[in-house]
Amino acid sequence: MSAAASQKGFTIIEVLIVIAIGAAILLIVLLALPAMQRNARNTQRKKDVGIVMTYIQEYILLNEGALPNSSCNNTEADCFLRDIKLSYYDNQSTTTNNVSLWNRFSIGPFNDESDPQLNPDDPISRERISIRTWSRCNGSLITGVNAQKQDIAAQYVLETFSGGSLHCIEM
């Protein structure tokens, strides 16, 4: 038996292949992690908007069809969203970018087509839910066209790879 045949171990090529495979797996995981976190935050945002819309619907039923407003004078009727428990919006700091917890909800009637919409590229807009009465959704925008008193639309921003995208749901 020759001396080369009796040696045991890995060649340098085999070690390099194993290291390259490990590095490729690590790279794939590191690239996928931000997308998974972004998707989790977006799922929480969608769930929170649904919860807020349910609270608004309950408010309307309990207040004989009266629509909520955005003032909060520490009365139960005015502060109906104060005690709401949300996943994403409650996990933000109390004041992020100078947006207080109450100011994360913008509630009011739709004025006209020049009514400000959320900006998907603005970090503050990503932390807000814009709710408009007398409103409907036109794609991702809120509009007053063909809207009636009971129509309520909520606009919110979901994160994308390159920034954000507007979304709108109706009640």
Q: State pTM to two decimals.
A: 0.71
Confidence of residue 40 (pLDDT cuts 50, 70, 90): very high
Give the pairing type, strands 152-160 and 163-170. antiparallel
Q: What is the pLDDT of residue 145?
A: 83
How far apart (Å, rounded) are the C-alpha atoms in residues 9 and 2?
Answer: 16
Residue 134 has pLDDT above 60, yes or no: yes
Give the pairing type, strands 141-143 and 136-138. antiparallel
